[in-house]
Structure 1
């Protein structure tokens, strides 16, 4: 995969209000312009989880203007890497895509203290993915 130019990745979870928002934010922040990033959910919430916004702000990433989006087959088809974070069978599967299923606790209804370890796990996994793709993390 390295050397093929810009990659694309999409992070999905049910409500697109927590895990997938953090995953997309870390991908955007750490990969700069080397990865086109999207996130979506199979049943999007109305807003991003405030505890998630706060936890991300603590590491210098502002996602306060992000809005949950609905998962579309086109989003999956246009991605090289599809990261699922709890959307189960509702995420469409297309041949030729690389799927990663990251089993992470759901931050829904949790305070910032419970969200921090989830945030940190997502950051570690994003850094690992970037290393596998041969994309240096910017920070």
Structure 2
């Protein structure tokens, strides 16, 4: 794995789960991890409830835009985290793949999205502990 690992988060719409995970990893990784996110069928904007849930954590993801999953994004990543995107993600030898089973925040209210957000944070923190030998100061 590279000195600065690259992590790609993939979900169908790249509007909720993958965007929240990317937001946490950018924040908690403090520049020590390159973060990408994409979707197999991206929406035209990020889920506003996901934006609100992350804002409660002090993380602003309003500048992010859903992106289409490309072979190049997978190729340049060391770790690929899928979240309910099925078989849409290409497989390359030597990559680390994980599938995080998480409820989809699409169409949910903030009270329903908060536990999803909190589960994503816990998984991102565990991923950071595995990827980086020395923990960064966490906000």
TM-score by length of 1: 0.95
**Partners of 2:22 and 2:134 in 1: CA distance:** 15
Matches within 5 A, 1:31-50: 31-50=29-48
**Partners of 1:28 and 1:135 in 2: CA distance:** 16
**Partners of 2:22 and 2:93 in 1: CA distance:** 22
**Partners of 1:23 and 1:130 in 2: CA distance:** 12
Aligned to 1:61: 59
**Partners of 2:93 and 2:107 in 1: CA distance:** 35
Aligned to 1:128: 126
Which structure 2 residue ranges, 5 or more long, are not aligned?
A: none
Aligned to 1:72: 70
Deviation of 1:135 after TM superposition, in Å, equals 4.8
Aligned to 1:99: 97
**Partners of 2:36 and 2:136 in 1: CA distance:** 18
Matched residue pairs, number?
137
Deviation of 1:123 after TM superposition, in Å, equals 0.4
Do the aligned partners of residues 5 and 68 (structure 1) sit closer, same or farther apart at CA in structure 2, a change above 3 Å counting? same
**Partners of 1:101 and 1:36 in 2: CA distance:** 19
Report runs of 4+ in structure 1 exceeding 6 Å deviation. none
Deviation of 1:40 after TM superposition, in Å, equals 0.3
Cα deviation per residue 1:88-128 (whole Å; 9 max; x = unaligned)?
11111111100010000000101111110000000000000
Cα deviation per residue 1:4-30 (whole Å; 9 max; x = unaligned)?
521110100000000000111111000
Aligned to 1:138: 137
Whether the 8 Å CA contact 1:55–1:119 is kept in 2: the answer is yes
Which structure 1 residue ranges, 5 or more long, are not aligned?
A: none
Whether the 8 Å CA contact 1:130–1:137 is kept in 2: the answer is no
